[in-house]
Amino acid sequence: MPSKLKIDPPLLNSACPWSTSLEDIKELYDSPYTGAVTIRTSLLEGFTHDDSVHQYIFFTPGKTIPANAPKGEESNPKGSKSTTEQTPSSATSSSSAEPVSTLNTLGYSHLTLSEYLGIINEIVGQRHLGTDTPTKKPFILSVTGTPDEISMAYALIANAAEMDEDLRLAMEVNLSCPNIAHASPPAYDPAQLAEYLEAISDSKSTYRGRMATPESVPKVGIKLSPYTHAAQFDMVVAALRAAKSNEPGESCVVDFLTCTNTLGSSLLLNDALEPVLHSESGTGLGGLAGAALHPLALGNVATFRRLLDQTPETKDIAIIGVGGVEDKAGFDRMRKVGANAVACASALGRYGVRVFESITKGE
């Protein structure tokens, strides 16, 4: 199964709260067990984070959640890991050995795309000094916004790649966050999806002639919502087949899919029968991830791989499988159903960067 996005080893993080700060990103980059680093989803102008609204919690499905259970918040605007380290030992899990899921009502990063490009330059720049970042692995910059803003985001990323040959950059267009009030994820809407694919096509065409080699043109992927019936999968694949590149040797303008994002409209009630989390909508509804999402994520990866492989326009699209992987068995399941690489979010928040070593070694 050929891949247009090279991630070796085929293990990385997905865009999440634990890939927000310089410290987060450098730790992920320095790990010999990650083949790429995904930056938390950003906007051109940043996102206004509010601790009283944008929250997350670890929980064990079927277990009662105490009303005073600690919630993950981002009180430290620099992205402190303090809440990450506290959460796995919180009262939301009756045993550290149990599979843990997450629910979140988060939006996007408060840092802008330009700030993240600066962070990446700082990390990669240390390579020239012979310090502790000897590898050159890809950074996947997760971005969102309108189609026009996505075009501008690609321009920023392509310009950065053009100026420094040591930067291996890709762009992931997040079309699937379920937590933004009054904004349905474009990944569910064929008309919106087509608009974004057109913007991606135009952006890649603009910069292809300027880059030193075709390989240096930043790869582009889309982060998809979880789908639950055949018509949804067919809609996405039809859009991808229609988004053909005019360049020789290219089939689709999209190089990879990140599959899948969190499952929206999920709700947790505490022992007082009140919503555990706050949210922009005021309902406490959020995105479900971790162990509870794993079977659906596996099904999404398997279905997309089967459908993509059926036509030459889409067979080379890579899939980054994400959803509930926290050990080698989960990694192996994702690879078995067709993931070119496997990403973790909830497990990263629960265990820290050491989770990638554990997965690799089967510990």
Report pLDDT digits (tens) over 270-295.
999 999 999 999 999 999 999 999 99
pLDDT at residue number 249? 65
Provide, rounded to the nearest whole percent, the portion of the chain with pLDDT above 70: 87
Segment 95-114 shows an average pLDDT of: 86
Query: Is 80 exceeded by the pLDDT of residue 84?
Result: no
Above pLDDT 90, what percent of the chain? 76
pLDDT average, residue stretch 238-256 = 86
Band of the pLDDT at 1, cuts 50, 70, 90?
Answer: very low
- pLDDT over 50 at 95, yes or no: no
pLDDT for 126 equals: 67
Q: Is the pLDDT of residue 8 over 90?
A: yes
Superfamily grouping for domain 11-37+78-92+114-261+293-361: Aldolase class I (3.20.20.70)
C-alpha closest to that of 79 among 114, 42, 127: 42
pLDDT given for residue 115 in this prediction? 98
Strongest mean pLDDT among 86-95, 100-109, 208-217:
100-109
Query: Is 91's pLDDT higher than 60?
Result: no
> Whole-angstrom Cα distance, residue 173 to residue 219?
11
- Whole-number pLDDT of residue 250: 65
Sheet holding 101-104, edge to edge: 56-59, 101-104, 286-290, 263-266
Least confident of 61-75, 157-171, 290-304, 314-328: 61-75
pLDDT band at 244 (very low <50, low <70, confident <90, very high): confident
The pLDDT value given to residue 89: 29
Query: Which pLDDT band, with edges at 50, 70 and 90, does 16 fall under?
Result: very high
Q: Which residue has the higher pLDDT, 233 or 92?
A: 233
Domain boundaries, the chain: 11-37+78-92+114-261+293-361
Q: Which of 81-95, 204-218, 245-259 has the lowest mean pLDDT?
A: 81-95
The pLDDT assigned to 5 comes to 83
Angle ∠(256,360,122) on CA atoms, nearest 5: 60
Residue in the block written with tokens 């010999």: 32
Tens-digit pLDDT profile for residues 47-81: 999 999 999 999 999 889 999 888 885 533 333 33
- What confidence tier does 140 reach under pLDDT thresholds 50, 70, 90? very high
pLDDT at 347: 97
- Mean pLDDT over all residues of the chain? 89
Q: Which of 43-47, 124-128, 235-239 has the lowest mean pLDDT?
A: 124-128
